Amino acid sequence: MSTINRQVQRDVARIDRPEIQIGMSDKHRLRPLVPPGDWVGSDPFLLLVEDWFLENVFDRHPHRGIETVTYVIAGAIEHYDNHGNKGRLNPGDVQWLTAGRGLIHNEQPADGQLAHILQLWVNLPSADKLVPARHQHLQADTVPVRREHGAEVRVFSGSSAGVTSPTKNYAPVTMVEIRLQPGARIEQDLAAGYNGFVVVVEGSGALGISGAHTGKGDLAWLTPCVEPSRLTLTGGDQGLLALLYAGKPLGEPVAARGPFVMNTDAELIAGFAEFRAQGEHFGL
């Protein structure tokens, strides 16, 4: 019997179906898939937002103490930061941006298109809050892929049945894109204690030991498990495109103010003071 078959099976704890909301302007719509504030329940994740936006919705802005993980669903994104990183993200690409001690960046739709993205914020452990900023561009056509009958799993971070991503993490995170043909079934292994959820991007499917039905736009939270575990996914009538995010909880205090996330209010105050004093050199 293989190791994965001996693992505990996960199930779906609940399914959230947040509504689309007006965002920062009439050029922006969003769905708060994982709203901020439930720091214990979502640990190590801080938020997950689905955005639709045109040019000039977002201005240049700083970050400290977190990682932002941007997945492009449709359109394209051009990005840059004050550390000299820049590039273009096409559909299926991911930008894994470690803010660490600080950076200033911006993301704009390319070619005048509407951009449709998912952006996840991952908390950094207290020991790594002030690491140097780091940029990882994960292209859809170059990341490791696990292939089974009727199934394709792109491994952006972590692993899937022995297929391992080279993406560097501070907080251990599994992020996989799962594509299933109608009726195809696959199991995704998860490390002990990982907190996780599945976002359905297209189609529908059955998740977990109970076969919970999930459709486009749903976010399914997984039941907690302190042991190594696995999640079963089956493609629905139109197939399934989903993202699974799972990570090891940090169990640390969270102090958040806008784009800065630290462990104490004093650290937040010091961070904003540094940003004001350093200006364009923030984090350098």
Could you read off the pLDDT of 83-97 as tens digits, one per residue? 999 999 999 999 999
26: its two tokens: 């009439």
Residue 19 has what pLDDT?
96
Is the pLDDT at 131 greater than 80? The verdict is yes
Query: 242 with 235: CB under 8 angstroms?
Result: no
Average pLDDT (6-14) is 91
Q: Is the dihedral of CA 162, 121, 86, 25 positive or negative?
A: positive
Residue 130 has what pLDDT?
98
Q: Which residues are annotated as a binding site for Fe cation?
A: 61, 63, 105, 107
Domain ranges of the chain: 9-281
Q: What superfamily in CATH does domain 9-281 come from?
A: Jelly Rolls (2.60.120.10)
101: its two tokens: 């001690």
Count the neighbouring beta carbons within 10 Å of the beta carbon of residue 15. Answer: 17
How far, in Å, are 3, 4, 54, 118, 158 from residue 51 at the CA level? 38, 35, 10, 6, 25
Could you read off the pLDDT of 201-255 as tens digits, one per residue? 999 999 999 999 999 999 999 999 999 999 999 999 999 999 999 999 999 999 9
Q: Which residues are annotated as a binding site?
A: 61, 63, 105, 107
Confidence of residue 7 (pLDDT cuts 50, 70, 90): confident
Average pLDDT (3-10) is 72
168: its two tokens: 């560097």
Could you read off the pLDDT of 38-81 as tens digits, one per residue? 999 999 999 999 999 999 899 999 999 999 999 999 999 999 99
Query: 283 with 83: CB under 8 angstroms?
Result: yes
**Cα gap 200→135, rounded to integer Å:** 26
3: its two tokens: 């190791």
Residue 1 has what pLDDT?
37
Query: 99 with 107: CB under 8 angstroms?
Result: no
- CA 94, 98, 102, 104: dihedral to nearest 10 degrees? -10
Could you read off the pLDDT of 187-212 as tens digits, one per residue? 999 999 999 999 999 999 999 999 99
Count the residues in the chain.
284
Is the pLDDT at 4 greater than 60? The verdict is no
Residue 3 has what pLDDT?
43
Residue 6 has what pLDDT?
65
Average pLDDT (126-147) is 97
**Cα gap 131→129, rounded to integer Å:** 6
Residue ranges of E strands in 103-172: 103-109, 115-123, 134-138, 145-148, 151-157, 159-160, 163-164
Closest CA to 153 of 92, 70, 89: 92
- Write down the mean pLDDT value for the chain: 96
Residue 231 has what pLDDT?
98
User: Above pLDDT 90, what percent of the chain?
Assistant: 96
91: its two tokens: 């559909």
271: its two tokens: 């961070």
